[in-house]
A = this chain, B = another copy of it.
């Protein structure tokens, strides 16, 4: 009988209590509140912190990642949060309600920050984003991240760039005060949205190989360096089909796939996970953003000689575009081979659809000629006779 032992959050019991029969039916025993102290891969055992020992035939590490908390004074104060687990989410909600929270400060400006900014503003909470860089979502082309900044401003969010937090203290007007190298800011709630780090301590003590990214190194079957030990999800690396490198991309859909592949292999149905192309998306207020493949810097690091181009089109045919929506699409390609390497899209609508199509192109290793003449389901309510995808690929091809 396999055991599944992962990060446990306080209310998980209640959650799984909703469908206990589901677990019983499948013969899976779930032990919550049972932290693991050690893995003994030679003996094939796991030792719980309570002293109990559990033998295993196959072991799956699904230890996830931990949200990064800044190492500055005052982070232990009530009202300072990260957002990683369901427990974190519940705690934030409760705090907002109990304290009648009026103003929030978010440190960091990645997509979790953007999503939380929208969520807090929708609750009527004044929101300030503090970021070390100049613009939010700095992974994105400056032309696109500038639009995200405009969207924040349009929704009455203050964005304070080029600013490093120094300490958190009690506030005067609000519950907390964030001291920075650029003045101080008060709020009732401070959220650290600074990304995650793979949770690898257990594996490290068991001498399981850690990759260059800091996450557990696995093969396409999700096997770690130790026999019969698998790793899946945010604690593990994943193969990037475009760069041909092992990367750490902690996203839910990838974790899902890895879990399925590991389970399939353990069950005797051999399966390899064919990797990712780096597709991702998020929404912030009225904007849709999506990206796939390599951005220019990543492509250059991977040894490509890059060319790139932004085009501005419309999500639907111009005749049907009553709201005058615009769709920005940036493509990156290899100058020598014409190979398509990556894309970013932004707009009120239509960005994710384009990026999903381009993700399939990347999956297949297409070049710009293929992308430029791809057969798409043309109809004016959904796009022009030449879609921005085709226009961008043809335009970039000319520039190579």
A residues sitting closer than 8 Å to B (CB atoms) are 241, 251-254, 256-257, 273-283, 288, 290-292, 352-361, 363-364, 366, 369-370, 373-379, 381-383, 385-386
Whether the Cβ atoms of B379 and A281 lie closer than 8 Å is: yes
Q: With a CB–CB cut-off of 8 A, which chain B residues contact A292?
A: 375, 377
Is A252 in contact with B385, judged by CB distance below 8 angstroms?
yes
Which of the listed residues A278, A354, A366, A375 has the most CB atoms from chain B within 10 Å of its own CB? A375
B278 contacts A375, C-beta separation under 8 Å: yes
CB contact between A361 and one of B241, B358, B360 (< 8 Å): that residue: B360
Offer 7 A-B interface pairs, CB within 8 angstroms, sorted by A. Answer: A290-B382, A352-B353, A352-B382, A353-B357, A359-B376, A361-B364, A363-B364
User: Which residue on chain B has the smallest CB distance to residue A276?
Assistant: B375
Cβ contact within 8 Å between B385 and A256: yes
- Complex Cα gap A278–B375 (Å): 7
Kindly state the separation between the CA atoms of A383 and B355 in the bound complex, as whole angstroms. 13
A282 to B376, CA, bound (A): 12
In the complex, the 10 A-B pairs of residues with the closest C-beta atoms, listed nearest first:
A364-B364, A353-B353, A360-B360, A281-B377, A253-B378, A279-B377, A281-B379, A276-B375, A352-B382, A290-B377
Set B291, B358, B378: member contacting A251, Cβ < 8 A: B378
Nearest B residue (CB) for A275: B375
- Is there an interface contact between B364 and A280, defined as CB atoms closer than 8 Å? no
Q: Is the CB of B360 within 8 A of A377?
A: no
CB pair B359 A359 closer than 8 Å: no
C-alpha gap A246/B377 in the complex (Å) = 19
Cβ distance A121 to chain B, nearest Cβ, rounded Å: 16
A356, A383, A385: which has the most chain B beta carbons within 10 Å?
Answer: A356
Inter-chain contacts of A254 with B (CB < 8 A)? 375
Neighbouring B residues of A252 by C-beta, 8 Å: 378, 385
The distance from the CB of A247 to the nearest CB of chain B, in whole angstroms, is 12
A346 to chain B, nearest CB (A): 12
Residues of B near A283 (CB, < 8 A) are: 379, 381-382
Question: Are the CB atoms of A280 and B370 closer together than 8 Å?
Answer: no
Q: Which residue of B lies closest to A251 (CB)?
A: B378
Name the B residues within 8 Å of A360 (CB-CB): 357-358, 360-361, 364, 366, 374
Residues on B with C-beta less than 8 A from A357 are 353, 356-357, 359-360
Cβ-defined contact, A363 with B377, below 8 A: no
Contact across chains for A288 and B382 when beta carbons are under 8 A apart: yes
